[in-house]
Amino acid sequence: MEKKIKELEKIIKYGFKKSSLLEKALTHKSLNSDINNEKLEFLGDRVLGLVISETLLEKYPNEKEGIIDKKFANLVNKKTCSLIAKKINLKKFILLGSSHKKLERSADKISSDCLEALVGAIYLDGGFKSVEKFIFTFWEEYLLKSTVTLIDAKTKLQEFSLKKFKELPKYTFFKKTGPQHRPLFKTEVQIPNSKKIVGIGSSKKNAQQNAAAKLLKVLNI
């Protein structure tokens, strides 16, 4: 285990004063129901949220709260944490019970939870500056991506329709095709003075986004 700890410390560019904290951060409840990473994950989630919130407020002092909130959600969600966990190959170091070692479907969640536990462990071991440095290092590319304010197509169409016609776009779900494990949804959208546009997606929400994006293109918006 000591060899694995040293290897991971090299990857994350942080050396623990208390290696027991790192070992705890890597221990899933399936291995030990009493001593595991759940509380560190709880702490790490809050620490990560604080660092990202503070960074976004400093980076975008004039941005609307709603936009900052969207950026925040994208930076701290399980998907982003899972991608960072994969980048540092965290799965290799997680200590799992035999019942979880072959459960690939839960691998991303376990890895993202472990990453948050790692954040919590670094905070307890080295303090705020240490964990801030770790987060800046591994969330950097995602923070850079957040420099562009992206408004999703559905929101953009809604804003346009309300401003021009004082009406919301009308979405009509009308078809679901494909196999049960990979369904395909079709949705129509229309605003005043426009024709109906069909959108397709893997969920109703994605189909609406697709329809809105197509209509915006037709309207040259």
181 versus 24: the higher-pLDDT residue is: 24
Q: Which of 9, 45, 63, 108 is catalytic?
A: 45
Report the alpha-carbon angle 122-38-80, nearest 5.
Answer: 65
For residues 142 and 111, is the Cβ–Cβ distance under 8 A?
no
Tell me the pLDDT of the chain averaged across its residues.
Answer: 90
pLDDT at 1: 75
The single-letter DSSP state of residue 91 is G
* β-sheet bridge partners, residue 199: 187
Chain segment 80-110, per-residue pLDDT in tens: 999 999 999 999 999 988 776 665 557 889 9
* β-sheet bridge partners, residue 175: 186
Produce one character per residue of 130-169: b if its CB has 16 or more CB atoms within 10 Å, e if not: bbbebbeebbeebbeebeeeeeebbeebbebbeeeeeeeb
Chain segment 146-165, per-residue pLDDT in tens: 755 556 899 999 999 999 99
Q: Which long-range contacts (CB under 8 A, 24 or more apart) does 146-152 make?
A: 146/56, 146/59, 146/71, 146/74, 146/75, 147/59, 149/63, 149/67, 151/67, 152/209, 152/212
Q: Domains of the chain (ranges plus CATH)?
A: 2-145 (1.10.1520.10), 153-218 (3.30.160.20)
Chain segment 113-142, per-residue pLDDT in tens: 999 999 999 999 999 999 999 999 999 999
Chain segment 11-34, per-residue pLDDT in tens: 999 999 999 999 999 999 998 889
pLDDT band at 66 (very low <50, low <70, confident <90, very high): confident
**Rg of the chain, C-alpha, whole Å:** 22
DSSP assignment of 54-79, as one string? HHHHHH-TTS-HHHHHHHHHHHHSHH
Instruction: Examine the residue annotation and report whether 45 is marked as an active-site residue of this protein.
Output: yes
For residues 82 and 111, is the Cβ–Cβ distance under 8 A?
yes
pLDDT at 176: 87
pLDDT at 9: 96
Instruction: Examine the residue annotation and report whether 116 is marked as an active-site residue of this protein.
Output: yes
Q: Which of 23, 41, 113, 116 is catalytic?
A: 116
